[in-house]
Structure 1
Amino acid sequence: MYYESDEEIEDERKWNKVRERNIKINIAKQLIANGRVEEKSFTKQDLKDLFAFKESDILYIAPNIFDISGEQYVMNLTFSEFIDKIIQSNKAVKDALLAAEAEFIKLYSPFREEAERNMFGVYAGDKYRKMFEKLKEFIPIIHWGRLPIFNKYLIYNRERDPELETIEFYEDPDCLNALLKEVKNQGIVLSNKSDNTLNKKITFKVYTRRWGHENTYSIKRTVNGWYCKYIAIRGECKKNGEGGLFMNLDHDSVFYPKEGVAYAMEKLWEDADDEVIDFDELAKRIQQIADWISAVEKSTGEQPEWVGY
């Protein structure tokens, strides 16, 4: 088992809140789309199939918004009230949505095109501020009418609640661009396909000078990071490989670029979780990291014999 610092725990909490926002909005969105706005109770399979819950969402988000009894997930009072308000807000703007979207496109699309031609410098000027003042009338209508799902980095970096600080949230051009994509039906659709890369064994063949040949570790992506094992040493790892993977490498006295490997492992985990890559690509890239470690380990043997590092 590995241990996290207070800073890491707090950062993970913030990321979970970001995901929770998207999950909660997606629940409202799907209930409206499927004509099920009166429903408050669901099965675990409903959460996955209807609302795109990942396994991590079942573990870390579902207990915050549902009372769980066996296979039944019943909205708790706070979440039920939240969903009712979202549904009411969506219904209230329904008749005004098409006109608001047309005005939004009319005002913002030409500005966006000009910004692209001028390397986005116009976003810092009076022209942007005047244009945004005009958009304020239409932004809430489109937000509640569309209920957009946002890129997790966008929400994390904005540090504003889209539902409580709607106008302030959209003051950032990246948020306006996300809304424009939503209006053009190019917005983000929540998915749980990344679970296809979870808990599947991947070989990690790495050369060690200690034994003079490749050792084959077993590694798999988990909800929280990785799980790695080889003979006697096995255990969980952080997303960056700290834990079971590094313990095995250190035990075999492997010389490797620890910071670089840590960065690569975490990026790989995130890419799989964000559905940038599928399982086959994940397995391929895992071995690429192992090959990198092996290359460094072999080159270390070229040091002068008196060094003994």
Structure 2
Amino acid sequence: MQKHGGDPFNPFPIVNNAVSNIICSMCFGQRFDYTNSEFKKMLDFMSRGLEICLNNQLQLVNICSWLYYLPFGPFKELRQIEKDITTFLKKIIKDHRESLDVENPQDFIDMYLLHVEEEKKNNSNSSFNEDYLFYIIGDLFIAGTDTTTNSLLWCLLYMSLNPDVQDKVHEEIERVIGADRAPSLTDKAQMPYTEATIMEVQRLTMVVPLSIPHMTSEKTVLQGYTIPKGTVIIPNLWSVHRDPAIWEKPDDFNPNRFLDDQGQVMKKETFIPFGIGEAGVYGRAAGKDGTVPHVCEPDAEFHICFT
């Protein structure tokens, strides 16, 4: 951002690269230079794969699983992307296996490989194997990179459109963090207004408007409606966060709705931007907690405006 000076620029590639590198550090134990061709290629694969999965045609796979194997259209392209991502990850996993230090694991892949070996020794019937590692890393990237990147971009936009809010956040950052160190998650407890601002941005924008599909394990009745066993349920999180029966003036941007009379953050059961249950745990951690230091750093150093 500093390189652009006061000139306008598109923040997406900068933000996306920065967030993705955090996931890379956690999974691979290394960061990639933004100009690294393999890194850029992998991000393109992940982004395109997610875009295809949101395609209306791909949604039909949840109903007719055989559609996934059709030899044309987005189905064929998605399978090719999965192969390309798998090839990239296999090389990294191979390098980790060769350099693995049992006494000193360095990252998520090391920990996973060690656990696979333990499972082989203790449980020959365990389904815990290396094949699942590809899917887990993919989930980490999608849950962590996409949600955090989009939340950050929306935060930058709302800051630029609401300079009074930006000034309050800036003042809080200066008071708590100052200019001599980088922000960390431990600062969050002392920065209620900044946290409330991020929560309000996430409530308004809903980076995941429709939550992860669930399925009923048994027949149930909800508010007079009978839902048969095996029904696919897709929660509409956008509706929850724009419901005027729950939120006063839901279309207005107002961080104060998340603050009590003492200026501390109020935890609301109706605030569920990443869904509920265990399936949304990582999305919440990455999308909410991971956004805090990323918002603090640019807002501490720059005045953000929209052109």
- TM-score interval, smaller chain: under 0.3
TM-score, normalisation: structure 1: 0.26
Higher relative contact order (CA 8 A, sep 6+): 2
Query: Which protein shows a greater Rg?
Result: 1
| TM-score between both structures, scaled by the size of structure 2 | 0.26
Of Structure 1 and Structure 2, the greater strand share is in: 1
